[in-house]
Chains A and B, each alone.
Chain A
Amino acid sequence: MNAKLETAATAAPTAPIKRRERRNPLDYSSMRWMQIVLAGNFMFLYFPILALVAFSFNDSKRNITWQGFTLKYYEKAWNNIALHDAFMNTMTIATISTLVSTTFGTMLGLAIYRYKFPGKALYDGWIHLPIVIPEICMGVSMLAFFAAMNIPLGIFTITVSHIAFSIPFVAVVVRARMSGFDPSFEEASTDLGANQWQTFWNVTFPYMMPGVVAGALLAFTLSLDDFVITFFTSGPGSTTFPIKIYSMVRFSVTPEVNAASTALIVITLTLTITAMTIQSRSARRQGK
């Protein structure tokens, strides 16, 4: 990190050292104290995660001094039946939740982009509520709801809740994507004789697609990562990966937990970076 910062700083001013006093006083990033502050901040941000990842490969139960490289804790985590089941549950829930919330959220995002209707500001505020209210409030309300409806807690209740909090996120992403759309393309399409469906599938939908994919990946990671709401809507036998890690964490700090956590970090990061790449690539193409 530090080395990167050094290069960041030295790459910028090309002026010779002699003219140091004429250095731009706003060039904070080349000032020593700013570099120290940034390096400190980055260390604070990264040390915990890097330590966790590094020690998942450590050949020692004590988990504090480095004893050598091993993959045995990954093997152990992989062969842990409970962890394995939890992982499968998580994948099932995330897949169903993503499919449903992406479909509904995309339709919603498109409708909000396209139509003017009375009470729109209020409606808009309402669909943003699941994003802003504290997770714990949503979690306990779902628990109370399923209890009142006599629905036993399990994979079904978790999935339903995940869909509910993912829809607004997908809608926001899709709508943001559509805000850059030029309606004259649609007009051109209808002028050239295409009907509404043809126009939608051949003109609007392809434009919207990167937003839909980004929204879907977001929904998937939200479901994969959720702890608080799942905690209140899961029952016996419907443990998800984060819930399982939580119960292991409460028990003790072991390299096995580190290995399971590292696996989850890798999955989430891969998905998020894919989503970001798709979004920025489509934005760039749009720019041209």
Chain B
Amino acid sequence: MEDWRKSKAAFAIFMAPATFWLLLFFTVPLAIIWVYSFGERGPQGQTELAVSLENYARAVEWIPLKILWKSLWIATISTVICLLLGFPLAMGVAFAPKRWKNPLLLIVILPFWTNLLIRTYAWIAILRISGFLNFGLEWAHGLLDAGFGVIGMPGLMGEFQPLELLYNNSAVIVGLVYVNLPFLVLPLYATLEKLDKSYLEASLDLGAGQWRTFFSVTVPLTMPGIASGVLLAFILSLGTFLTPDLLGGTDSMMIGNLIAQEFGPSRDWPFGSALSFVLMYVTFFVLWLRATVASRSSGVGEAG
């Protein structure tokens, strides 16, 4: 690596355009909403500059706090489900015979290259009243009904009632799991792949069962990958806007939707700005946590 002082002109020419662009069209906009977050909403919904913490105080009032709490809660549940689905998936790929690893990995990440909006929309077609899931259930219901008819108990199942699967919190959770699963699987796969399998063999040879080996050897050794994937899936779920917007109901509003509402119909930009910064601070805290876990566990890895 060269020192920048050796060729100042070239350094400046290469750095300047991107630095300028990111300063003007990324940092300045963030600075503007940071300033707005201390401002006040005027009577016509315009933003008036001020120095007050009122917007931040309002962010912890009952209704926004409930939405923030709900966001954390939905993000946590969807992340846990992601982990429960993703761990076996990552293991299946990482322990597959060598020539199958890359094709299997490709199969895992392929859906992730399709548009987020389309992937979310696809779930509407599945979950709606006349969707695929209810269609399947109706079919199963009819089959069971016919079965009961054969054994002499017709009408036992009653009339089929389609389930209300869409526009509620569960639909949001399903959507988030679907969208974020690859983000958790990839870091997890990367660590499982690097894991020295002889530790697992040693554990099995010494008489531990598969489950014990899994919980006492595999999980502790892959902790950095687990933490990295889990925290990534968590911040992505937390900051989501589209999933609750399309799949959620009136009570599944998450923090991203509240921000969009403040900048949209409610036209309270100072409050929306304060909420944006609350969300960013939470995100940064989680990222910091992720970096700490990563640096600590890399130290352990070197010692071992």
Instruction: Using known A-B contacts A8-B100, A163-B25, determine if residue A249 contacts B124 with beta carbons closer than 8 Å.
Output: yes
Q: Are B2 and A45 interface neighbours, CB within 8 A?
A: no
- Within 8 Å CB of B277, what residues of A? 137
Q: Are B32 and A268 interface neighbours, CB within 8 A?
A: no
Task: Considering the complex, give the chain A residue whose CB is closest to the CB of B107.
Answer: A42
Q: Are A140 and B114 interface neighbours, CB within 8 A?
A: no
Q: Bound state CA distance, A142 and B29, in angstroms?
A: 6
Q: Are A107 and B17 interface neighbours, CB within 8 A?
A: yes
**Stretch from A76-84, A126-134, A205-213 that touches the partner:** A126-134
**Stretch from A15-23, A67-75, A187-195, A224-232 that touches the partner:** A224-232
Instruction: Using known A-B contacts A132-B283, A136-B256, A253-B125, determine if residue A115 contacts B117 with beta carbons closer than 8 Å.
Output: no
Q: Bound state CA distance, A265 and B122, in angstroms?
A: 12
Q: B-facing mask of A23-47, CB < 8 A → 1, else 0? A: 0011111000010011001101111
Instruction: Using known A-B contacts A11-B100, A116-B3, A136-B260, determine if residue A261 contacts B15 with beta carbons closer than 8 Å.
Output: no
Q: Are B92 and A48 interface neighbours, CB within 8 A?
A: no
- Out of A46, A48, A108, A143, name the residue touching B15 (CB < 8 Å): A108
A-B contact count (CB 8 A): 239
Q: At the interface, yes or no: A281 with Cβ under 8 Å from chain B?
A: no
Using C-beta atoms within 8 Å of the partner chain, give the interface range for chain B. 35 or more
Nearest-CB distance from B108 to chain A (Å)?
7
Residue among A113, A143, A171 having the largest count of chain B Cβ atoms under 10 Å: A143
Residues of A in contact with B (beta carbons under 8 Å apart): 1, 4, 8, 11-12, 25-29, 34, 37-38, 41-42, 44-49, 51-52, 55, 62-65, 103-105, 107-108, 110-111, 113-117, 126-127, 129-130, 132-138, 140-145, 148, 160-161, 163-165, 167-168, 171, 221, 225, 227-228, 232, 242, 245-246, 249-250, 253, 257-258, 261, 264-265, 268-269, 272
Residues of B in contact with A (beta carbons under 8 Å apart): 1-4, 11, 13-15, 17-19, 21-22, 25-30, 32-33, 36, 85, 88-89, 91-92, 95-97, 99-100, 103-104, 107-108, 110-111, 113-119, 121-126, 128, 130-132, 135, 178, 181, 197, 200-201, 204, 210, 235, 238-239, 241-242, 246, 256, 259-260, 263, 269, 272-273, 276-277, 279-280, 283, 287
Beyond A107-B15, A115-B2, list 18 extra A-B contacts (CB 8 Å): A41-B88, A48-B122, A49-B114, A51-B132, A55-B125, A108-B14, A110-B14, A116-B3, A117-B11, A134-B235, A135-B239, A145-B28, A148-B32, A160-B25, A227-B116, A246-B117, A249-B121, A272-B113
